[in-house]
């Protein structure tokens, strides 16, 4: 799995509308101590943003998020994504990622989905939407039957600076994902200094072991 994610324990998920903002965003995060960035496929600019960061910021572990189709998986891989995150368990997307040799973190929500993801060889899973589906209590209950299989989770959706440490205190949590340090409005306004400050705060919050 991607060592940067497991080391930093924080995955900023960004929606980037303007490709010109991709590299400055990555540089702002790096200045704050975060060397992981998930660019979500929620805009037409996503693939080009990933390409620019992959080429222009070698110190950044850039990946693709919200990947829903095999076509998007191919675009992400071609752009240089070092990992891929999906909101749900799309088995065709998982299979394609594995064929291409790109680490994938599929989204899960139920014991059945966790079991199937594990059967497909995935041991780091996205738990989404964490906040809306019971948060820490639900994740703790779900994780129990799978702990001995080495399965770890990255909760996203409703995770922020206030509760990230609580999630990370769980032995089943490998990292947390969120957009609180890369909010769309901050990127659009090019408030790079503020993003750096939020990234620095996130590093401190996620340092809990």
Catalytic residue among 4, 27, 82, 126: 126
188 is a catalytic site residue = no
Burial class (CB in 10 A: 0-12, 13-18, 19+), 169: exposed
Mark 124-160 as b/e (b = at least 16 C-beta within 10 Å): bbbbbbbbebebbebbeebbeebeeeebbbbbbbebe
The token duo for 172 is 């089943």
Catalytic residue among 4, 38, 72, 152: 38
48 is a catalytic site residue = no
Helix, strand or coil, per DSSP, at residue 159: coil
The token duo for 120 is 């497909």
Give the residue numbers marked as catalytic.
38, 126
């Amino acid at each position: 799995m991607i060592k940067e994610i497991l080391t930093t324990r924080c995955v900023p998920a960004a929606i980037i509308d303007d490709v010109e903002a991709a590299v400055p965003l990555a540089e702002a995060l790096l200045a704050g101590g975060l060397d992981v960035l998930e660019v979500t496929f929620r805009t037409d600019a996503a693939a080009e943003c990933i390409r620019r960061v992959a080429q222009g910021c070698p110190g950044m572990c850039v990946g693709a998020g919200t990947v829903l189709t095999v076509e998007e998986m191919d675009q992400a891989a071609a752009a240089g994504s070092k990992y891929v995150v999906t909101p749900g368990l799309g088995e065709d997307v998982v299979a394609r990622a594995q064929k291409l040799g790109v680490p994938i973190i599929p989204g899960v929500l139920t014991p059945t989905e966790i079991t199937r993801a594990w059967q497909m060889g995935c041991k780091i899973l996205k738990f989404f939407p964490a906040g809306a589906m019971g948060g820490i209590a639900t994740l703790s209950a779900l994780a129990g039957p799978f702990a001995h299989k080495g399965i770890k989770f990255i909760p996203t959706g409703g995770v922020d600076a206030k509760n990230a440490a609580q999630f990370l205190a769980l032995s089943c949590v490998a990292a947390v994902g969120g957009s609180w340090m890369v909010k769309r409005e901050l990127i659009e306004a090019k408030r790079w200094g503020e993003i750096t400050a939020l990234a620095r705060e996130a590093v401190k919050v996620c340092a809990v072991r």
